């Protein structure tokens, strides 16, 4: 039971036997050696299981990353070959015109040529095939299409011996090839 002290508060430790305090409860007993060993073995087994799970997950992640990289490379290669397939005709045409212009050859109408002959394995222009074709073409005419006329127009630098077109001088020149 409890009693009241001078201040009017109750003291919980004092019983009905006149002031003796009850003994504190006994401390809990610790685990035995067998329990500690069993607990240690259980944690070791869990740790090994977690390590095994981690290693298998890491291996699976690496395999997925490698597969993803391979898929990315395959997509890049497919996009590259698709793009080259779309523009390869224009690339071959440009290469033909460039080499023909530098060699001075005249190209036939390109719609009659099989432009696939001039592509390499990677769909890019095959420079050797283009060069061989350009070398087989006849060379264009050197010079311009119109002959140069000496003394015609404003360019009077021909082989003439006189500087004027006076009719008297021209008549004398034509008649005797000399001036009067």
Taking only the tens place, the pLDDT of each residue in 164-173 is 778 887 777 7
Asked if residue 13 belongs to a domain, the reply is no
How many domains does the chain divide into?
1
Cα(129)–Cα(2) distance, rounded to whole angstroms? Answer: 115
Asked if residue 120 belongs to a domain, the reply is yes
Asked if residue 154 belongs to a domain, the reply is no
Q: Any idea what DSSP says for residue 117? A: G
Asked if residue 125 belongs to a domain, the reply is yes
Its pTM stands at: 0.41
Range of the domain at 122: 35-139
Asked if residue 57 belongs to a domain, the reply is yes
Taking only the tens place, the pLDDT of each residue in 138-167 is 876 655 565 555 655 555 555 556 567 788
Asked if residue 82 belongs to a domain, the reply is yes
Q: Determine if residue 142 is left, alpha or beta; phi over 0 gives left, psi from -120 to 50 gives alpha, anything else beta.
A: beta
Asked if residue 171 belongs to a domain, the reply is no
What would the mean pLDDT of 27-34 be, rounded to a whole number? 87
What would the mean pLDDT of 69-85 be, rounded to a whole number? 91
């Amino acid at each position: 039971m409890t009693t009241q002290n001078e201040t009017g508060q109750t003291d919980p430790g004092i019983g009905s036997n006149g002031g003796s305090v009850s003994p504190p409860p006994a401390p809990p007993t610790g685990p035995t050696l067998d329990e500690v060993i069993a607990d240690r073995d259980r944690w070791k087994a869990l740790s090994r299981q977690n390590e095994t799970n981690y290693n298998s997950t890491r291996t699976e992640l690496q395999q997925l990353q490698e597969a993803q990289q391979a898929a990315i490379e395959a997509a890049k290669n497919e996009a590259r070959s698709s793009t080259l397939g779309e523009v390869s005709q224009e690339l071959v045409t440009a290469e033909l015109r460039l080499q023909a212009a530098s060699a001075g050859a005249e190209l036939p109408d390109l719609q009659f040529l099989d432009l696939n002959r001039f592509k390499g394995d990677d769909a890019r222009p095959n420079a050797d095939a283009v060069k061989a074709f350009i070398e087989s073409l006849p060379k264009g005419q050197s010079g311009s299409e119109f002959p140069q006329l000496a003394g015609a127009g404003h360019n009077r630098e021909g082989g003439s011996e006189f500087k004027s077109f006076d009719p008297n001088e021209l008549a004398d020149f034509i008649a005797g090839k000399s001036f009067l």
